[in-house]
Structure 1
Amino acid sequence: MNRIFFILFFLIGAILCSAQNHIVKDIDSLYKEDQFYAGVTYNLIGKQPEKLSQRGFSLGFHLGFIKDMPINKKRNIAIGVGLGYSANSFNQNLLIRKEDTGDFVYSIVENNNTYSKNKFSNHLIEVPIEFRWRTSTPTDYDFWRIYAGFKVGYVLTNTAKYKGDLGRFKYNDNNDFENFQYGLTLTAGYNTWNIHFYYALNSIFSKDADLNGEDIDINAIKIGLMFYIL
């Protein structure tokens, strides 16, 4: 399923950018840029405790709209504020199990051969805020861009799944996950291909989650591609 989404996002991005390049527009001295975005990322876990490791391909998919607000006469510098949706998965060896009391306990599965699936995932509504620089003009649609900013997201749902020697279980009621995620973003590139980077400033888990008596202070790092269209 992840591979299908990965391919679809690349196709959507290529189609959108190709459409943008072939649209003939009247010269607009008050033009704006890059107000819709679609992206795909490879998700990493930062600040990993001892023996925690990732396994498999952890993907993120991102869609949204950003209001582009130029702040200079040339309109190549702007502020962007938007609203988006993000779906993310993290394949790793942190086992999440629910006890009979309703509490969740965490442990490291050291032997990767004992399970075929172990991941947690989330879906977020996000608000990106960007400072935008580009080399665009009213008639030039192929340009360099550097967008740096901040993003805050609210987690709509989170899910933990396991399939292996211990059985098969799935949880979507774990309150140990942080409801809010926020971090720094940087997108840079030329025309269609833009590298996107996100570094979370807070932990994926709240202080209620602990591993061997210590907080699970891991954060999300996302690296991938971002596509834009007007």
Structure 2
Amino acid sequence: MKKIISILILCLLVAPLFAQDKKKDRRHPFETRKPGIMRMYSGIWAPPPERADKFDRFNTDFFWNSWIGETNGVKTKFYAIGHAINLMFDVPFEKKGRVGMGIGLGYSHFNIRSNGSLDFVNIDNTYYTQLNPYTGPKRWINRSVFNFVEVPFELRFRAARERGKFKFYPGFKAGYMFEYYHKHRIEGAEYKEFNFPDINHLHYGPTIRIGVDNIMLFGYYDMAFLFNHDQSSKLQLFGAGISIGWF
């Protein structure tokens, strides 16, 4: 009899739990999943239900990078990979966050590995830069590096559902080139060339990100020339790859 009574009491205690599970949970999905700091950007706890949903405030881009324009037959290697890091404010225009904008601060690293050489030309004490195919001794490393600090801006369009969320982010960014060099190695000697005489520090151009959830395709086209002298090679940077949104 004691065992029967114990079982009945246990059933009475457990039954409300099953009944609660069958009811529709009306809490915010982020609250039920407890996504934490790497998702919500607001500490350990999920945001209050009345706050608009926010996404993609920290993202990283990995892309194949090259240049277009007067390349004079120079070929870029398939393993020429650049990257970017962006910290952005997500500003939704309505509760579900389906339409909004993003703006913030970013860093881009262009790393162009090629069979070319950036040559400094001096005519009448005027220096400019030409990109030409390299024809000297074998170079084990041959890459041109350009680093930027940037201000990215995006219009953001995305689906309302939480999972399988389609995203379309056309944008634009402007940046300042704070570091640049050409590096190569011949046998045991390493060379690094700085101070291009006609480098253009200010750069700007359109961006695009399109994808689902946290993985998107990424593209960037630089509208400014890499070098600004009239006789320099007319070169523009571009990159195409993937973008990962962390939270």
Deviation of the 1:56 alpha carbon:
4.8
Deviation of the 1:164 alpha carbon:
3.3
| Corresponding residue for residue 225 of structure 1 | 242
User: Given residue 228 of structure 1, which amino acid in structure 2 is its aligned partner?
Assistant: G
Selected match of 2:84 from 59, 62, 67: 62
Unaligned regions of 5+ residues in structure 2, if any?
1-34
Contact 1:136-1:142 at 8 Å conserved across structures: no
What does 1:193-212 correspond to in 2, within 5 Å?
193-207=215-229, 210=231
CA gap 1:98/1:219 in 2 versus in 1, 3 angstroms: closer
State which drifts further: 90-99 or 102-111. 102-111
What does 1:145-164 correspond to in 2, within 5 Å?
145-164=167-186
User: Given residue 242 of structure 2, which amino acid in structure 1 is its aligned partner?
Assistant: L
The reply on whether 1:176 has 2:198 as its aligned counterpart is yes
User: Given residue 130 of structure 1, which amino acid in structure 2 is its aligned partner?
Assistant: E
Deviation of the 1:115 alpha carbon:
2.2
CA gap 1:106/1:46 in 2 versus in 1, 3 angstroms: closer
Selected match of 2:208 from 163, 186, 205: 186
Contact 2:119-2:132 at 8 Å conserved across structures: no
Selected match of 1:80 from 102, 119, 124: 102
Normalising by structure 2, report the TM-score.
Answer: 0.72
Deviation of the 1:58 alpha carbon:
1.3
Give 3-state SS (helix, strand or coil) of 1:20's partner: helix
What does 1:1-230 correspond to in 2, within 5 Å?
20=39, 25=46, 26-97=48-119, 103=127, 106=130, 108-111=132-135, 114-136=138-160, 140=162, 142-164=164-186, 168-207=190-229, 210=231, 215-230=232-247
What is the alpha-carbon distance in structure 2 between the residues aligned to residue 44 and residue 114 of structure 1?
21
CA gap 1:95/1:102 in 2 versus in 1, 3 angstroms: farther
Normalising by structure 1, report the TM-score.
Answer: 0.76
What is the alpha-carbon distance in structure 2 between the residues aligned to residue 38 and residue 28 of structure 1?
29
Deviation of the 1:30 alpha carbon:
2.0
Contact 1:93-1:112 at 8 Å conserved across structures: no
Contact 1:94-1:106 at 8 Å conserved across structures: no
User: Given residue 186 of structure 2, which amino acid in structure 1 is its aligned partner?
Assistant: G
Deviation of the 1:207 alpha carbon:
1.9
Please say which structure displays the higher CA radius of gyration: 2
- How many residues in Structure 1 have an aligned counterpart in Structure 2? 206
CA gap 1:110/1:85 in 2 versus in 1, 3 angstroms: closer
State which drifts further: 151-160 or 68-77. 68-77
Give 3-state SS (helix, strand or coil) of 2:140's partner: strand
Unaligned regions of 5+ residues in structure 1, if any?
1-15
